Amino acid sequence: GAVVSQHPSRVICKSGTSVKIECRSLDFQATTMFWYRQFPKQSLMLMATSNEGSKATYEQGVEKDKFLINHASLTLSTLTVTSAHPEDSSFYICSARGQILGRANSPLHFGNGTRLTVT
Amino acid sequence: DQQVKQNSPSLSVQEGRISILNCDYTNSMFDYFLWYKKYPAEGPTFLISISSIKDKNEDGRFTVFLNKSAKHLSLHIVPSQPGDSAVYFCAARWPGNTPLVFGKGTRLSVIA
């Protein structure tokens, strides 16, 4: 089945530094990947849609200059949290949709998430 | 304004009995609905889905029911097992290659 790999799984950084999170589709090509964020006991909130070869589309309230998304290939999207602050501490999860021939619908597959703690 | 709602934050069921998780949605343009299971510090794992043209989809112990007129779907797990204990998210999406909209999740505890 479709596998999405996300790295790192956990990162602790100091306020003001930048953190890069990688998301790879391992056995399929993903022209579109989605980045979500989850705060404790809350739902998964869509941050942005990452499109291979073009600019990402950000949801309202998500700062594009703070959360830089690069989707340089069909199997890799990266999210960089720039100048991180404690309020950016959260669980970040990427996802991609594996296309199954002959099926109009296919589910999103998620990475294992990255727990970011900014001190 | 939440478009996908899971009104029960938690549910406790005895092993072997049926677990019923409920989900309501407000947007009639959603055409595809999914259930995900999530453990702490892990990404959601896809469980089962249903297209809006169907009212039932079954996969082993898991069955999803969709009532379009009521904008309601439910996930039935029979029989429930301790390993089913997790947070279950209901999700929906519009037609096309669109992202998922998630509910807040329901924490299921299956007691042995």
Say yes or no for a CB contact (<8 Å) between B99 and A93. no
pLDDT for residue A72 is more than 70: yes
* pLDDT tens figures, A23-51: 999 888 888 899 999 988 888 999 999 98
- With b for 16 or more beta-carbon neighbours within 10 A and e for fewer, the A30-63 pattern comes to bbbbbbbbbeeeebbbbbbbbbbeeebbbeeebe
Which of B6, B93, B97 to probe the A interface (max A CBs under 10 A)?
B97
Task: Determine the distance in angstroms separating the CA of B96 from the nearest CA of chain A, rounded to an integer.
Answer: 8
Summarize the confidence of residues B60-84 as an average pLDDT: 97
User: What totals of helices (H) and strands (E) does chain B contain, helices first?
Assistant: 0, 11
Q: How many CA atoms lie within 13 A of B92 on its CB side?
A: 24
pLDDT for residue A1 is more than 80: no
Which residue did the predictor score with more confidence, A72 or A118? A118
A9 interfaces chain B, CB cutoff of 8 Å: yes
Say yes or no for a CB contact (<8 Å) between A42 and B104. yes
Instruction: Supply φ then ψ for residue B102, to 5 degrees.
Output: -105, 150
User: Minimum mean pLDDT among A69-73, B45-49, B57-61, B90-94: which range?
Assistant: A69-73
Residue A102 pLDDT: 47
Distance CA B68, CA A80 (A): 40
